[in-house]
Chains A and B, each alone.
Chain A
Amino acid sequence: MSDRIFGVFGLALALFYLWAASIIKDSFMVDVVGPRAFPYMVGTVLALCSIYFILRPDDEPAWPALKGFAEIICAAAVMLVYAWALPEFGFLISTVFATAYLTWRLGTLPHWALLTGVLTSGGIYIVFHLILGLSLAKGPLGF
């Protein structure tokens, strides 16, 4: 069943891709094949494979329980918030909380998770920013 859903989704993606390829505008430069031919080929392969998934699905994969899904979605959401927070609050503060969340969810007690967050954030800041000179996100406080 999962493969069938995946196939339907893939087919929709392929059709969208083919449509998006068909509206590519020509520029003033032209060559024999043009900018649309290769995307058409790619879209066709996508569509054919998706149809195959619908017709001949594999065995059902081992999906996690609903709780597992929630876990993944929350983790992804935290990472997205982290990406947004980087320029707002700076690297050090954002990283403490993002690391603490992930360590906590992987089974560390909350106060140890927070400590891990502080150590990770500080450690990365020292190694990558102060020693190696990488540019990390700067918040309003300058770090």
Chain B
Amino acid sequence: MTETVVDQLLARAAAAEDAHKWIEAVALYEVALVRSPDHVPAMLGAAAAARANGDHARAVVFLTRADRTAPGRADIAVALGEALAATSRLSEAAVAFERARAAKPLDAGLAARLGAARLAAGDAPGAVSAFEAALRLDPAEPRALGGLGPALASAGRPLAALEAFRRSGDPRPRAERAAALLALGDMAGGFADLDAIAARPVWATKLQAWDGFPLDRPLFVWAGGDPLDLAAFAPALPLARSLVADLVLVVPKPFMRLASALAGVGRVVADNDDLGGLIETVGAAAPLVGLPHRLGLTAGSFAANAPLLAVEPMLADRWSARLDLGRGRPAVGLVWGGGFGLADLEPLAGIADLRFVALERLPSATLARSSSPSGWEVAGAPIRVEHPGPDFEAGIDARVDCAALISRLDAVIAVDGLPLRLGGLLGRPGVALLPVATSWIWRIEGGKTPVYPSLSLLRQASEGPLAALLPEAVQRIRSMVHE
């Protein structure tokens, strides 16, 4: 009897699915599950319907239940992994795929899926091993072929990555391939890829693409949404400017103020403004990330003779006064967010000859009143890290305060991020704390980069936390500020 009812429910659910009535289908499956709580097909059906309806979280619930009910079933684990990935629970997804793979170790597709999941979860070495396993099982596994390159690139193995890209037979430019080429020093190839994949706004299609030749009219350069790119490619702006009548930079509105202070920029326009009138006056256009390619730059082409970024003196004065800079102990800007936690600042404890100033924009909840000149410090830190105050970086214009403050600080210790790059653009001394795999601008080895010659680079050892670099960073800072 029960069986019959359940079967009827499942049949109706299937009919609802056929009619794309997903919610109804899920409800019917749920009813069936109420009747027969261990009915795995019903769980799977419900999950499928939920996913079809876009409700991945609900699917996860059904699949978790199915997985628990019928453990060791690879298909359930795969489905769970997919659903978890769809809900951005990437690490859990990877675990799910690992379980699926354990159940079906000879399934190349599964191994590739695992690789993709690990890659998405940020486990590049794991992704590499999974893809490689997949390719051992099936050398033509498409997902593994396509994924190995990016995985290797992310794992900091650009040469192997390039080899993988070449083997995949896919000539299309990709960000990962660009990164690998740039990391290897092949600027010509990397910049060409970056240029090719750059997003192209609609208005730009109406303009002639700039060929890098002299132009007697203004050049439009558009920056993408990533402020890190803005900082990384800013050195190409004055080079481009030397060839054209004027350079108009198109940026997201929050960065307008910062961008207008970049060297070589004649005028800044917000990307959501109406460009209609301006376009008439312009000779050609190029994406910011495409400039190095159009200019034919190499790693040796960046030679900043002057600071690439100017700060607003009033702002600088304001923050300098606030923090009482320029007197007493040298003040060192600190940026840790995205690299390590506050607690990892422990190695800096006991340093008395330097002041540390947080360059992070922090919610006021994490700030504490303090006896420091600004009256604020970062709460809960193992050492005293001063802060300019809650109104730091408060306006709509991003990072203007940060740039101004850096220009008055004696040095910066920072993980890779906009503050560090601003320090580089400003030509301020500083130490970059870099992870194993990092942006092309930092190259793969060496203590210097031609893009930001004032920065000293510290690279994370292959094992060991980023924060372990702090003592060495302080040593370098001391030698910089005491010079």
Answer yes or no: are A and B bound together in one complex. no
Interface residues of chain A, those whose CB is within 8 Å of chain B, are none
